[in-house]
């Protein structure tokens, strides 16, 4: 496993991180996770050198499972990040909504306390707001609460999870100097963060946590026109209608362009994101030991050749299936 600086936090993180949304079960919007399998996957991730784990209050039982494993590995340098959900329950944050409706200080504190109880941990290395709007910079009491939680030793650093496919909606926050990490969707299909967000993060020393690097499964090479998902799994909507057929068509074009088969796509997709110098870590969802081992091996393969990165860049496909 390779390691990188998480911006100016002083933390060193594995470049492949563990995205713990999928292990939270139906309460987090995923179907098919088994606790025993999830715990084995987390243990294997740590065994292979993984150090960064990302969870959230809104991920069902995820914090509980992550905490169970981390308590058994106390003192081993593992880094855990969690998220505060917006009080108003709006994903993504909407324009014109006051920050007091989403992240008032008392709500932030209550969420952190609940996360600590659920996980059994004494503190979190990174606390993130689960949505963000740049309209909130300089307003409300959220910053004072974040600072107080730092002083109390309950959190180490502050970050935000940027709204889906809105990478420019954190530029003012980054420029303000108060945020230390951002989490953003960035992948072969969604390359928009390369334009302004990633350069801004480099300039201001902000760590970049990449989510959805495999396009919720679209860049695994395993989605076909016949793919379906169980009722209750959010992917049943995300990949609804003719979307699986669209994905299959785009991935086929990619594999033909690069002269590879579908099994090579996940590795190439992760290495495409890791090739950008602003990126600190990529949190991949890994509910099985097999997925952990496959993604950890990507870290060991080194830099993506320039010609392959240029070829992948030709397959940009911007869209927002969370909303459309």
Q: Domain with 59 in it: what CATH number?
A: 3.20.20.100
| Domain annotation covers residue 22 | yes
| Domain annotation covers residue 255 | no
Percent of residues, the chain, with pLDDT higher than 70: 99
| Domain annotation covers residue 139 | yes
Pairing of strands 181-185, 16-19: unpaired
| Counted domains in the chain | 1
First vs last Cα of the chain: how many Å apart? 37
pLDDT digits over 34-72, tens only? 899 999 999 999 999 999 999 999 999 999 999 999 999
Q: What is the pTM of this model?
A: 0.97
**Residue 104 Cα distances to 8, 109, 260, angstroms:** 26, 9, 50
* Contact between residue 309 and residue 275 where contact means Cβ atoms under 8 Å apart: yes
Can you give the residue range of the structural domain that contains 287? 3-220+269-304
pLDDT of residue 231: 85
Low-confidence ranges of the chain (pLDDT < 50): none
pLDDT digits over 228-238, tens only? 998 888 889 99
| Domain annotation covers residue 257 | no
């Amino acid at each position: 496993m390779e390691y990188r600086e998480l911006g100016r936090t002083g933390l060193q993180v594995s470049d492949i991180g563990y995205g713990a949304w999928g292990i939270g079960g139906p309460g987090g919007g995923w179907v098919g996770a088994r606790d025993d399998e999830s715990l084995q996957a987390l243990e294997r991730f740590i065994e292979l050198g993984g150090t960064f784990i990302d969870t959230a209050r809104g991920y069902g039982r995820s914090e509980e499972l992550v905490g169970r494993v981390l308590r058994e590995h106390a003192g081993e340098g593992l880094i855990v990040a969690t998220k505060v959900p917006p009080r108003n329950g709006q994903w993504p944050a909407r324009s014109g909504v006051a920050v007091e409706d989403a992240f008032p200080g008392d709500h932030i504190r209550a969420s952190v306390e609940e996360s600590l109880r659920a996980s059994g941990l004494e503190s979190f290395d990174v606390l993130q707001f689960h949505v963000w709007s740049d309209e909130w910079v300089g307003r409300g009491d959220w910053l004072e609460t974040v600072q107080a939680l730092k002083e109390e030793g309950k959190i180490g650093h502050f970050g935000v999870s940027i709204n889906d496919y809105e990478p420019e909606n954190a530029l003012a926050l980054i420029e303000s100097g108060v945020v230390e990490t951002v989490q953003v969707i960035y992948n072969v299909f969604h390359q928009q963060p390369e334009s302004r967000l990633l350069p801004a993060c480099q300039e201001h020393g902000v760590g970049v946590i990449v989510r959805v690097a495999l396009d919720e499964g679209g860049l695994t090479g395993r989605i076909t026109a016949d793919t379906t998902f169980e009722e209750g799994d959010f992917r049943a909507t995300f990949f609804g209608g003719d979307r699986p057929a669209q994905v299959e068509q785009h991935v086929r074009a990619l594999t033909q362009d690069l002269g590879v088969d579908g099994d090579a796509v996940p590795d190439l997709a992760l290495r495409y994101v890791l090739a950008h110098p602003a990126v600190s870590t990529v949190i991949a969802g890994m509910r099985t030991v097999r997925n952990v081992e496959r993604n950890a091996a990507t870290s060991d393969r080194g830099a993506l050749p320039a010609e392959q990165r240029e070829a992948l860049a030709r397959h940009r496909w911007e869209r927002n299936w969370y909303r459309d």
